[in-house]
Amino acid sequence: MTWDTIPRMVLSAADRFGDAEAVVDGDLRLTFTQLVERVRVAAGAFAELGVGRGDRVAIWAPNSAEWIVAAFGLLTAGGVLVPVNTRFKADEAHDIVTRSGAKAVLVQQGFLGLEFTGPPGVPVIDLKSGFLASGSPFEREVDGDDVADIVFTSGTTGRPKGVLMTHAQTLRLYAEWCDLADLREGDRYLIVNPFFHIFGYKAGVITSLIRGATILPVPVFEVDRVLDLVERERVTMLPGPPTLYHSLLEAQAKGGRDLSSLRSAVTGAADIPVELIRRIREELPFRSIMTGYGLSEAGTVTASRPGDSFEDIATTVGTPCEGVEVSIADDGEVLVRGYTVMRGYLDDPEATAEAIDEEGRLHTGDLGTLDERGHLRIVGRKKDMFLVGGFNAYPAEIEGFLLRHPAVAQVAVIGVPDERMGQVGKAFVVRHGPVTEGELIAWSRERMAGFKVPRSVEFREELPLNATGKVMKDQLR
């Protein structure tokens, strides 16, 4: 079945799956029919708020049933979704809300003990306030080529850029993802990946509605809570970063947990130990494991295929999705071309032209190799980005924050290996005033999302610089 817009796909789920469970969130259980009713009513609430076709609304909130209703209600009203990272501090979030031109920002007050605010003049609506239930059922015509969402990605310049993606692009790619990941009708999909990220929103919520899987949203990853849900709700589908599977293996070794329902695993990272993939397959009940490579600017680019060896799944990110072409530039950069490549960066023609060349190839900034079978291996990051527990951390952005500290004269941040998180940040700092490692880390925690905060600081008399004054980070490693 093919649909040209996300609202049409979502609204058709009532006819396709009816009284099957669509969402289980705490005590709340919604059938597909009930979910679609709530989405139509939410669309009416957005329309009454003044949201028209192409108008943007931000959602800055954790995974929940309300997030799903709000996102699809907004799209059904003709709006454009702007998801905001819940780990962002107010200034980081306000920058995105302001630049996206959002008409409103939806939040979940009290999440992690925080009060979420909006920039001046932008109304803030609590998802739990009853707003979503305040409209009359409504649906506005949109087109497959209309922009559906603007997902902000951190640029190495430190300022996130808004990626424009259409309804049709998303539906075609994530319908294929369902096959690659072995997602089936009636699956019970525990979504620990955040909805503000394409892994949680597109490879999670959207695929579940395409296939007819039950969504179990998890707002914060806590191992015991995840294990409880797996047992109680008979979860079958559990994608996540490698750290998630480490936790499952530890729980399995301790015993006393029934994980027998688990069938499909999906993970992705530049470097996964072969041993971890073997253990996921042999010590846990998973019957299929998919690994892949993707980025906000092109969605899922490559994926492993059923029957790939442990070695292939661990050391490569699979082969390109249908209609996607991957090549390697002379300098080793991974280039992507095809229908999945973004329409561009929001209000940034220069950055768009830098990212997408005249041949339509997206320059990913990642370094990789292709073997003779077409398997892609990611070997590093052209611009030093590193992954902390599945989140992209950009040294330039973190360095920008650290330089605001009065005692920091120069700073360079690199990713260093960490058993639990994959990688974590380490800062090399030249001081021009008194500050300790502990003080600088504590100061950072107040100003940056947790995954960006360096875990260690090394003070130096000077940093190794090249002729143009750039820090030679290879010498720090």
Q: Quick one: pLDDT at residue 468?
A: 42
Q: Quick one: pLDDT at residue 156?
A: 39
Q: Quick one: pLDDT at residue 397?
A: 75
3-state secondary structure of 442: helix
Which domains are seen in the chain, by residue range?
6-320 (3.40.50.12780), 386-476 (3.30.300.30)
The arrangement of strands across the sheet holding 299-303 comes to: 264-267, 288-295, 299-303, 319-320
The dihedral built from the CA positions of residue 38, 35, 289 and 320, taken in this order, carries a sign that is negative
Which of the 8 DSSP states describes residue 405? S
3-state secondary structure of 279: helix
Distance between CA 238 and CA 233 in Å, rounded? Answer: 12
At 275, phi and psi to the nearest 5?
-60, -40
195 pLDDT exceeds 50? yes
Provide the H-helix boundaries in 237-379: 242-254, 274-283, 310-315, 349-355
Q: Quick one: pLDDT at residue 88?
A: 85
Q: Quick one: pLDDT at residue 291?
A: 94
pLDDT tier, 221 (very low <50, low <70, confident <90, very high otherwise): confident
Taking alpha carbons only, the member of 472, 442, 438, 473 closest to residue 457 is 438
Most confident segment among 39-48, 146-155, 410-419: 39-48
Range 224-247 average pLDDT: 92
Range 252-272 average pLDDT: 87
Lowest pLDDT segment from 41-55, 115-129, 240-254, 268-282: 268-282
* Each residue's pLDDT tens digit, 272-321: 777 888 999 999 999 999 999 999 999 999 999 988 999 999 889 999 99
* Each residue's pLDDT tens digit, 313-359: 988 999 999 999 999 999 889 999 999 999 999 999 999 999 999 99
Q: Quick one: pLDDT at residue 5?
A: 98
Q: Quick one: pLDDT at residue 272?
A: 72
178 pLDDT exceeds 50? yes
Range 151-173 average pLDDT: 85
Distance between CA 91 and CA 409 in Å, rounded? Answer: 23
- DSSP labels, 139-192: -----TTSEEEEEEE--TTSS-EEEEEEHHHHHHHHHHHHHHTT--TT-EEEE-
* Each residue's pLDDT tens digit, 8-30: 999 999 999 999 999 999 999 99
Q: Are 117 and 181 in contact (CB under 8 A)?
A: no
More confident residue, 391 or 151: 151
C-alpha separations of 13 from 46, 189, 264, 297 in Å: 21, 16, 23, 28
Q: Quick one: pLDDT at residue 50?
A: 98
pLDDT tier, 404 (very low <50, low <70, confident <90, very high otherwise): confident
How many percent of the chain have pLDDT more than 70?
A: 96
Q: Are 212 and 13 in contact (CB under 8 A)?
A: yes
